[in-house]
Chains A and B, each alone.
Chain A
Amino acid sequence: MILSKIFKNTLLILAACLVLTACATKKNVETMSGQMQSDVYTGTDTVEYLADGVPDRVFFATNETILTTASRETLRAQAAWLRKNSSINVVLEGHADERGTREYNLALGERRANSAKDYLMTYGISSDRISVLSYGKERPVDAGSNPLAWSKNRRSVTVKAN
């Protein structure tokens, strides 16, 4: 009888342990996937701010130049900030991850920066105030060789030019 009680308790403890580990693993996966959504970086590790609430960069999916909903929100904030600070000009620096050929990546970076530029222009920022510069895969922010690092590197960064 006592034996069976001990046995029961052990089982309970074991079960509790299992649940706990399961929780831990699940949480890990969530924080990982919390930084990426279908291949696009959604974290804030590398993001700097042009002003309060104005992130300086937007992220792209592999081989893509389309702006995500979050990217459009960021760019609208940048456009509002640029309208308020009409003397500031910017350079949009387009980047690619390391998983592509150098020359194609230079073109891809240019196209990414331009899709950000086009969006800023639709929110009233004159093209005179925006220049575009592609670095291709030459200036990664994260030196890692993994999907998360690559997602941080596929970006267009808005940099003050003056």
Chain B
Amino acid sequence: MRKNFIILFILLIFPIKVFALIEVDITRGNLNPLPLAVSPLSIDDQSKQSFEKILKKKNIGSEISIIVENNLRKSGLFNPLSKDAFLQAPDIANLKPRFEDWNLIKAQALITGKVTFVDEKLRVEFRLWDVLAAKEMMALAFTTVPNNWRRVGHIISDKVYERLTGERGYFDTRIIYVAEKGPKTQRVKKLAIMDQDGANNKFLTLGNELVLTPRFNPTSQMVTYLSYFKNLPRVYLLDIETGTQEVVGDFPGMTFAPRFSPDGKKIIMSFAKDGKSDIYTMNLENRLVERITNHPSIDTSPSYSPNGKFIAFNSDRSGYQQIYVMRSDGNDIKRISFGNGIYGTPVWSPRGDLIAFTKLHKGKFYIGVMRTDGTGERLLTENYYQEAPSWSPNGRVLIFYRETKTNSDGEGFSAKLWSIDLTGYNERLVETQTDASDPSWSSLLSN
């Protein structure tokens, strides 16, 4: 970690300024987030009143800009400046920014925009400006139903992120997770879903049965998870729009650790019987079940590579939990984790080049990443207990959960969601209404 820091430091002393337009390098920890100004989106009085009636928000223009501001700040790559320092009124700034004014407050980029109420719809236009070069970098407009106003803020954030970093964003996304409450020995768990920024939280189950490990289908709004319905732990498939759910496959025993294939057509999971757990897939179109591994050990936590050709999984066939990679037909099984400690929960990055994992070594839990051949292991964060990383759809951020140590009376237990950048920087608590675990990040909703 210290070594990395030194290298990083050297890179920062010699910043390379070749590009005329601003660019944010997200491949390394960003200690100097780019200062930018998010001007409140301007709005005329008539539109303001119409939206206030429908959405109960006084000024929807500034509400949307607050969403953009928070998203960009939490990314750790940008530093949205305080609106108190802004000299130019939003409506004028959107027409033609006075770049000297924005330069004065040290903003390098500026976001302006306009909201109007047109035919019962929300019309938003926004612009991204390079303050130093005094140029417009991007201008976009879209129209949607008023209730989608938060998503508008997320989409603007994604577009800005994309333009400034050269990578897809991850703001117009949702997190599915397990909401928890009650004493540690009798935890009540419910499936819950929320926007990536914590808004629009909704519980999907009532808490009557234990539920675990929900995961998104990368191609749709379907979810697979483990439920103890009728005290039979089985993998279920849930359509979060309609609420319909069904058991996956007809296995004579516990199925668990489900995930979708990258094309969304299969579910891969473990089936435990007679003390051994093996990996199976079920095709959701023709319901065909296929056995992938066959070994007396525990094989679990399978995760496909994004091209669907390989599967990373967790096995104790060597004696302890380690990470293995095989072809998607189960051939060519290779162990890839060889460091000190035990390894679990491999999750293939959506970019394909890395596998995130949980590591337990000398009583500490780590979230880390390694290349798909096991080289280049890098530990991002250490804690008393944390596990189950899930990637942001652009492969730049990991979300996971952490549990606290209890005191000698067994009190003080909590479970919370956290996120960290792939660089190991920008570790953040992800706020949830209740305690939370087992997060899974959706793909971008606006695709």
B360 at the interface (CB under 8 A from A): yes
The answer to whether A106 and B187 touch (CB under 8 A), given A101-B387, A143-B411, A149-B410, is no
Q: Which residue of chain A is the closest to B189 with respect to CB atoms?
A: A138
Contact partner of B321 among A104, A143, A144, CB < 8 A? A104
Contact partner of B212 among A102, A115, A143, CB < 8 A? A102
Contact partner of B213 among A102, A110, A142, CB < 8 A? A102
The answer to whether A108 and B210 touch (CB under 8 A), given A102-B387, A134-B233, A142-B410, is no
Contact with A along B374-387 (1 / 0, CB 8 A): 00000000001101
Number of A-B pairs, beta carbon distance below 8 Å: 104
Contact partner of A99 among B185, B300, B385, CB < 8 A? B385
Contacts of B316 in A (CB 8 A): 104
A126 at the interface (CB under 8 A from B): no
Contacts of A151 in B (CB 8 A): none
- Are B360's CB and A104's CB within 8 A? no
B388 at the interface (CB under 8 A from A): yes
Q: How far is the CA of A141 from the CA of B185 in the complex (A)?
A: 6
- Are A100's CB and B344's CB within 8 A? yes
Contacts of A111 in B (CB 8 A): 272, 275-277, 298
Q: Which residue of chain B is the closest to A144 with respect to CB atoms?
A: B410
B108 at the interface (CB under 8 A from A): no
Contacts of B410 in A (CB 8 A): 142-145, 149
- Are A103's CB and B185's CB within 8 A? no
- Are B231's CB and A133's CB within 8 A? yes
Contact with A along B165-202 (1 / 0, CB 8 A): 00000000000000000011111000000000000000
A63 at the interface (CB under 8 A from B): yes
Q: Which residues 235-290 in B have Cβ within 8 Å of A in the complex?
A: 253-254, 256-257, 270, 272, 274-277
Measured between C-beta atoms, what is the minimum distance from B204 to chain A in Å?
19
- Are B187's CB and A143's CB within 8 A? no
Contacts of A107 in B (CB 8 A): 256, 270, 272, 277, 298, 300
Contacts of A103 in B (CB 8 A): 213, 256-257, 270, 300-301, 314, 344-345
B229 at the interface (CB under 8 A from A): no
A140 at the interface (CB under 8 A from B): yes
Contact partner of A138 among B210, B298, B301, B384, CB < 8 A? B210
Measured between C-beta atoms, what is the minimum distance from B382 to chain A in Å?
15
B294 at the interface (CB under 8 A from A): no
Q: Which residue of chain A is the closest to B406 with respect to CB atoms?
A: A145
Q: How far is the CA of A142 from the CA of B184 in the complex (A)?
A: 9
Q: Which residue of chain A is the closest to B384 with respect to CB atoms?
A: A145
Contact with A along B309-347 (1 / 0, CB 8 A): 000001010001100000000000000000000001100
Q: Could you say which interface size class chain B belongs to?
A: 35 or more
Q: How far is the CA of A103 from the CA of B283 in the complex (A)?
A: 22
Measured between C-beta atoms, what is the minimum distance from B212 to chain A in Å?
6
- Are A140's CB and B184's CB within 8 A? yes
Contacts of B408 in A (CB 8 A): 144, 146
B403 at the interface (CB under 8 A from A): yes
The answer to whether A101 and B274 touch (CB under 8 A), given A143-B184, A145-B406, is no
The answer to whether A104 and B388 touch (CB under 8 A), given A142-B410, A143-B413, A144-B408, is no
Contacts of B257 in A (CB 8 A): 103, 106
Contacts of B276 in A (CB 8 A): 111
Q: How far is the CA of A114 from the CA of B272 in the complex (A)?
A: 10
Q: How far is the CA of A6 from the CA of B409 in the complex (A)?
A: 46
Contacts of B358 in A (CB 8 A): 101
A98 at the interface (CB under 8 A from B): yes
Contact partner of A114 among B275, B314, B385, B411, CB < 8 A? B275
- Are A110's CB and B385's CB within 8 A? no
- Are B212's CB and A138's CB within 8 A? yes
A65 at the interface (CB under 8 A from B): yes
Q: Which residues 206-237 in B have Cβ within 8 Å of A in the complex?
A: 210, 212-213, 226, 231, 233
Contacts of A133 in B (CB 8 A): 231, 233, 254
Contact with B along A108-142 (1 / 0, CB 8 A): 10110011001000000000000011110011111
Those 4 A-B pairs whose CB atoms lie nearest each other, nearest first: A143-B410, A114-B275, A101-B344, A143-B184
Interface, chain B (partner A; CB < 8 A): 183-187, 210, 212-213, 226, 231, 233, 253-254, 256-257, 270, 272, 274-277, 298, 300-301, 314, 316, 320-321, 344-345, 358, 360, 363, 384-385, 387-388, 403, 405-406, 408-411, 413, 438
8 intermolecular pairs with C-beta atoms under 8 Å apart: A99-B363, A104-B301, A106-B212, A106-B256, A110-B275, A111-B298, A140-B185, A144-B408
Beyond the given A98-B403, A133-B231, please list 13 additional residue pairs across the A-B interface where CB-CB is below 8 A: A63-B320, A101-B321, A101-B345, A102-B212, A106-B233, A108-B298, A110-B275, A111-B272, A132-B253, A133-B233, A139-B185, A141-B185, A143-B413
